[in-house]
Amino acid sequence: MQLQDSMRSAAVFAALGDATRLHLMARLADQERSISALAEGTGMSRQAVTKHLAVLARNGLVRGARRGRERRYRADTAPLLEATAWLHDYRRQWEESFDRLDAHLHSLSQEKTP
């Protein structure tokens, strides 16, 4: 994986590192919603929701479009797929490392057994 891909994944993880933004992403997973609909029931102002949406949009996680007089947002899964691929590669590296450690420890225990 190239540095640019890693930096993009890091930005996605940073954007999702906030519980409020994770909540907004979950609300946008099933359908597009207006800012008012996203703010409803959260105790947040529309302005606060807008600020969180701006962070998500900067990182490509949401897309906004004007529908009449309101702006509606929807989740964009492409950055999540890239981040998932990064996690998968990282996980594979760790699993291989643990497998080598396990094999080494197993060989050490075999050497000590009479």
Q: Which of 21, 2, 3, 1 is nearest to 13 (CA)?
A: 21
Dist. CA 88–CA 35, nearest whole Å: 33
pLDDT tops 90 at residue 55 = yes
pLDDT in tens, 5-14: 677 888 899 9
Average pLDDT, the chain: 89
Supply the pLDDT for residue 113.
Answer: 67
Backbone phi and psi for residue 67, each to the nearest 5 degrees, phi listed first: -125, 100
Q: Which of 64, 63, 50 is nearest to 21 (CA)?
A: 50
Dist. CA 38–CA 34, nearest whole Å: 6
CATH number of 3-112: 1.10.10.10
Dist. CA 18–CA 61, nearest whole Å: 13
Three-class SS of residue 67?
strand
Three-class SS of residue 81?
helix
Mean pLDDT within 80-104 = 88
Residue 17's pLDDT band, with cuts at 50, 70 and 90, is very high
